Structure 1
């Protein structure tokens, strides 16, 4: 099986309101890199964009009448859950689960301004 360079076998595809702002949110909070973006003929609406976070691709576009908003829950490992959680709040996310130590690491949930829930987690240092 061949997979396009920079892609993985499974990638989320989100349809959001204001894809450009979604890109900015991910860049501020998760240090995402915009790797591809194409606009529709109106030169405003994002037809297809891709970001990479720690080598993982998220595809997304602006929702339209044909393609309604489709959000997701995303689990993300980060170096410092406390720092990333705070960055998300500062960038407009709402807390859905306070950050706390869990069996699997330090984790908390936020809902971004676009309706996606991010489960921000880092491994507890021993």
Structure 2
């Protein structure tokens, strides 16, 4: 298999979200997952067209939906330092519970649906 030319600091597979409000999605990522803003690109009107955030060394990309690109939901698994704390932050940030935190064979796990309709499976080991 040949190797793709991938920019430094980026993995080969990156989740991409299309959300109704890119700025609020970035706030959600920062609040719940302590994400670091990596890049944002805006159109002439200031609307967020493309954003990138780093969650513990993993990159999340997202764009704001428009007439040509409707919002799409995703489901993502993410390792965090403390599943209970992250779950609580997500609930405070307007998420709904998919699964309350519980101890599993693979770690402490929980599931939330964010205000944009995406499901996050949160686990700490």
1:1-126 mapped onto 2 (5 Å cutoff)? 1=3, 2-43=5-46, 45-123=47-125
Q: CA deviation at 1:41?
A: 2.1
Task: Tell me how large the CA RMSD over aligned residues is.
Answer: 0.9
1:75-95 CA-partner distances (Å, limit 9, x unpaired):
011111111111111111110
Show structure 2 runs of 5+ residues with no match: none
Query: Number of aligned pairs?
Result: 122
> TM-score normalized by structure 1?
0.93
> Match of 2:88, SS?
helix
Q: What is the rounded CA distance, in whole Å, between the counterparts of 2:85 and 2:45 in structure 1? A: 38
CA-CA distance at 1:71 after TM superposition: 1.6
Unaligned runs of 5+ in 1: none
Deviations 1:90-116 (A, max 9, x none): 111110111111111110100000111
TM-score between the two structures when normalised by the length of structure 2? 0.94
Q: Deviations over 1:28-56 (max 9, x none)?
A: 1111011110111222x211110010111
